[in-house]
Amino acid sequence: MQAATAHRGNRTKKGIDIPALQASWQAFDTVAHLRPIHSEADYDRMVAMMNALLDVAGDDEDHPLSGLVELLADVVSRYEQEHHAIEAASPNDTLRFLMEARGLKQDDLSAIVPQSNLSAILAGKRKISATMAGKLGGFFGISPAVFVPK
Give 91-147's CATH code, choosing from 3.40.50.720, 2.40.50.840, 3.20.20.70, 1.10.260.40.
1.10.260.40
Confidence band (pLDDT; 50, 70, 90) for 81? confident
Q: pTM for this one?
A: 0.52
Cα pseudo-dihedral 54, 59, 65, 66, rounded to 10:
120
- Picking from 11-15, 52-56, 58-62, 65-69, which range would have the lowest pLDDT averaged per residue? 11-15
Residue range(s) in the chain whose domain bears CATH number 1.10.260.40: 91-147
d(CA 58, CA 60): 6
Are 64 and 87 a contacting pair, CB within 8 Å?
no
Identify the CA nearest to 73 among candidates 49, 38, 42: 49
